[in-house]
Amino acid sequence: MTYDLIIVGGGPGGIASAVEAYIFKLKNILLIEKGDNHSQTIRMYYKDSKRVDKVYRKQEIDLKGNVAFFDGTKESTLDYFEEIIDNEVINTLYNTEVERVLKENDIFKVVTPNDAFYAKNVIISIGRMGRPNKPSYKIPNSIRKIINHNAYDCRGNEKILVVGGGDSGVEYACQLTTENNVTLSIREDRFVDANEINEEMIVRYDQEERLRVRYGVDIEYIEKAEEKGVKVHYKNGYDTIYDRTIYAIGGTTPVDFLTRSNIEMDENKRPLYSENYETSVKGLYLAGDIIYEKGGSIAMAINHAYDVLADIVNKNNTDQ
């Protein structure tokens, strides 16, 4: 069968795309997600009870389409998306990783390890957190278990270094203080990437000595500490031993996926797309974080979904 639309990725961008497609009355829609449930970035990288802000990374967004979104918590956000998926009767296929999307005679072939699915239009909304950013220096193999990109392995009573002054770094650092001794290191002299609430929170935590913020520091390299933990060597010549380090420095564009799908990119390996997020391959669209170099937000992903579907429907009507 040929679907009207296949959506690759079941995060906010993918779910909003499915809702808009349903409301725009596209008939056969399939959403394919590699995880065993929707919203893997929220599940894996948001700490439990995390506050979820509509204004994220200082980006005030007016929602355009049919999907609402409010400030809440990790749990309320997941429940909300769950409800949307149920209410809109979205056809989902979990535990299925899409390898590439190929256009053959005006129809897209969406290739997974064991199957292929066909569609007239495809939206790629696979985010950037499938490949979290890593530091430029080497991570020794022997300490990989204590070098993390989220806070799930933290056991309490640990001395933890969080690296990164964006919202996620600030939130990990503050939440971890309930059971751990936390240091947050940022390269800048002040918080330039965090929103106002987080900035106020981290400055207050620092002033109340619930954690330590090291401003304007950069790491030269890390190594296995003699007895236990990771020895972090700062560029200013000092070093400190921690039980664990969490890098909250964002994610990377899935360049391999885009290349395999024949999507044109610029010299910085950023995908090229139109004002409605259509790639160089006609009928193949992007939505959500994959569009940005430095991460977007849930509200932005929701808006992309509306623009993409409006464009697909507009083109369908013009073709008829």
Return residues touching ligand FAD (CB under 6 A). 8-14, 32-35, 39-42, 45-46, 52-53, 56, 97-98, 125-127, 129-130, 167-168, 288-289, 296-299, 301
Alpha-carbon span 308 to 122, nearest angstrom: 10
**Long-range Cβ contacts of 70-78 (<8 Å, 24+ apart):** 73/49, 74/42, 74/46, 74/47, 74/48, 74/49, 74/50, 75/48, 75/49, 76/52, 77/39, 77/42, 77/52, 77/298, 78/39, 78/42, 78/43
* Closer residue to ligand FAD, CB minimum distance, 40 or 279: 40
Nearer to ligand FAD, 126 or 143 (CB): 126
30: exposed, middle or buried (C-beta count within 10 Å: 0-12, 13-18, 19+)? buried
User: In the bound complex, what is the minimum distance in angstroms from residue 16's beta carbon to ligand FAD?
Assistant: 8
**232 vs 301 by CB, closer to ligand FAD:** 301
Task: Report the residue number, 51 or 231, with the smaller CB distance to ligand FAD.
Answer: 51
Query: Tokens standing for 316?
Result: 């369908």
Report, in Å, the least distance between residue 288 CB and ligand FAD: 2
Distance CA 274, CA 235 (A): 42
Question: Sign of the CA dihedral 219, 224, 225, 230?
Answer: positive
To the nearest whole angstrom, how small is the minimum distance from the Cβ of residue 226 to ligand FAD? 32
Nearer to ligand FAD by Cβ, of 34 and 233: the residue is 34
Nearer to ligand FAD, 30 or 129 (CB): 129
Q: For residue 61, how many other CB atoms are within 10 A of its CB?
A: 17
Q: Which is nearer to ligand FAD, 123 or 232 (CB)?
A: 123
How many whole angstroms separate alpha carbon 202 and alpha carbon 191? Answer: 9
Q: Residue 174 CB, nearest distance to ligand FAD (Å)?
A: 12
Q: Are strands 29-32 and 2-8 parallel, antiparallel or unpaired?
A: parallel
Nearest distance in Å: CB 293, ligand FAD: 13
* Contact between residue 319 and residue 301 where contact means Cβ atoms under 8 Å apart: no
Is residue 134 within 8 A of residue 32, CB to CB? The reply is no
**Least Cβ distance, residue 305 to ligand FAD (angstroms):** 9
Beta carbon of residue 81, minimum distance to ligand FAD (angstroms, whole number):
10
